[in-house]
Structure 1
Amino acid sequence: MTSVTARDYAWIRSSPLFDCALEIGYTLSLVRGVAPREVLRVMEAEPQGSCTGADALIERQDELRDPEDYSDESFMAGACTVPGEGGDWTLVLHVGEGGMGMQSRFLEALTDGGCAVAHSSNGGKPMHFFHWYEDGELRTTFEWPTVRQGSTPDVLNSAMREVGYVLSDDEGGASETSERVDTKAAAFALAERLTGVRVTEELLQGAEYQLGYVPDEQ
């Protein structure tokens, strides 16, 4: 694991991209050893060509959406190859209204013999999620870092503390120290600890994304 902490991701608070992502919702997933086209195939996405940069991906999402259909959970996913621990990973990004990105069944299938990490926000509401899958199993997941679930809910506790999360009242609870912790930045840092992938504004804005339209499951 790297020694990254939440402080290394302070850039998200001055990023126009993540200001938008947190306002309207996003999902960022990292999948080890599976190529972008295969990830999109497992997600049952319809190929939509490619684009360069997250701004262009958001534009394609906006073109897709009917602004008056609030029940539509279809979305545009962008997938690209990034270097990480143990080789190449596929980064999958969705920013905008619609589905919450990666469904659990996709992550279970994509991590059969592998690993994936995903974090997300539903936009406009205080709901932020983190999921870690390994060998087709949900190992650790949480909305609040103090309430963890999964087959091994406590195995990441040491790494979570190191990146900046406060896990109990005994560690600070509502103290001045805990109030300074940016839990969204901590989610990025924890994802890097598990994957070795450093996510930057330059990476997301310079990436060549393969696009896939994921239809509403209703």
Structure 2
Amino acid sequence: MTAAMPTTTDYAWADSGTLDDPYCLTLVRGLTPEEFMARVHAETRPQPMRLDANFHDTSYDLRSTGEALFIGAATVPGENWTLAYESNGHLGITAEAMIPVSLGTRVVSHYEGGNGRYRFFWAEDGDVRLDFDPLYAHDRRGSTPDALLDDMVEIGYDLRDDASVEDIDFTFPLIAASFALAERLTGIRVTPDLLADRTFLCGQARVPFPQDR
């Protein structure tokens, strides 16, 4: 029996306030957390951390200096994937940072920055395949902007290119949709327990701070 494809229903928890606001979550195939951190040129810390208040506060304190972003990376149990998480960061959706990470592998990231800011990013072997704002899913960039159209339709993204602001359904669970689309690309089901039970190799990386993030 074929397993059902993930939908927003599977990720209702993600739109319920469980995640940090803002957050950025990245999945990378075939790299260890140490290899991932090396590719983003992060200065790692000796002690691992959980995604708790200390992680959150450290992220915000570092971001407030305007010098670097804080990120944690952990192995997904039983899988050949690393999960990276940022609280108040955008490293995972910054092409300049993720294109080198994607060499020889696949990177899938999504982001919610508060105040209606969202991003979904997919890169493969140095090529940005898809990059779009989930709130305006008709406006997609990358070398294969239509590669996931069928999945996006099934998940429920609004793909109309002629919709006015008044037509946009702002109640659509965009965070859950990003999680579902990411799972379709990676096969990794992210759960609250997966995030809460991991200890993360943590560090800080200097990256560009795009004005639209």
Q: 1:126 corresponds to which residue? A: 116
How far off is 1:121 after superposition?
Answer: 2.2
- Percent sequence identity over aligned pairs: 36
Q: 1:9 corresponds to which residue? A: 11
- Once residues 47 and 197 of structure 2 are traced to their aligned partners in structure 1, the CA distance between those partners, rounded to angstroms, is 13
**1:113 equivalent in alignment to 2:72:** no
Which digits, 9 at most, give the CA deviation of each residue in 1:69-122, with x for residues without a partner? 5xx0512110001158xx4111111102xx522331332112222111011123
How far off is 1:2 after superposition?
Answer: 6.0
- 8 Å contact 1:29–1:92 — kept in the other structure? yes
How far off is 1:213 after superposition?
Answer: 1.2
Change (3 A) 1:157 1:105: same
- 8 Å contact 2:40–2:101 — kept in the other structure? no
- Once residues 12 and 43 of structure 2 are traced to their aligned partners in structure 1, the CA distance between those partners, rounded to angstroms, is 35
1:161 to 149, 153, 161: 153
- 8 Å contact 1:2–1:196 — kept in the other structure? no
Change (3 A) 1:167 1:40: same
The aligned runs of 1:1-218 (5 Å cut-off) are: 3-15=5-17, 17-18=18-19, 21-22=20-21, 25-55=22-52, 56-66=54-64, 69=65, 72-83=66-77, 87-96=79-88, 99-102=89-92, 103-123=94-114, 125-143=115-133, 144-168=136-160, 181-215=172-206
Structure-2-length-normalised TM-score: 0.83
Change (3 A) 1:65 1:113: closer
Structure 2 counterpart of 1:106, one-letter code: A
- Once residues 63 and 37 of structure 2 are traced to their aligned partners in structure 1, the CA distance between those partners, rounded to angstroms, is 19
Structure-1-length-normalised TM-score: 0.82
Structure 2 counterpart of 1:74, one-letter code: A
Structure 1 counterpart of 2:33, one-letter code: P
- Once residues 2 and 107 of structure 1 are traced to their aligned partners in structure 2, the CA distance between those partners, rounded to angstroms, is 30
Change (3 A) 1:193 1:174: farther
Change (3 A) 1:119 1:65: closer
- Once residues 141 and 63 of structure 1 are traced to their aligned partners in structure 2, the CA distance between those partners, rounded to angstroms, is 29
Structure 2 counterpart of 1:50, one-letter code: Q
- Once residues 72 and 37 of structure 2 are traced to their aligned partners in structure 1, the CA distance between those partners, rounded to angstroms, is 9
Alpha-carbon RMSD across the aligned residues, in angstroms, is: 2.7
- Once residues 32 and 152 of structure 1 are traced to their aligned partners in structure 2, the CA distance between those partners, rounded to angstroms, is 19
Gaps spanning 5+ residues in structure 2: where?
none
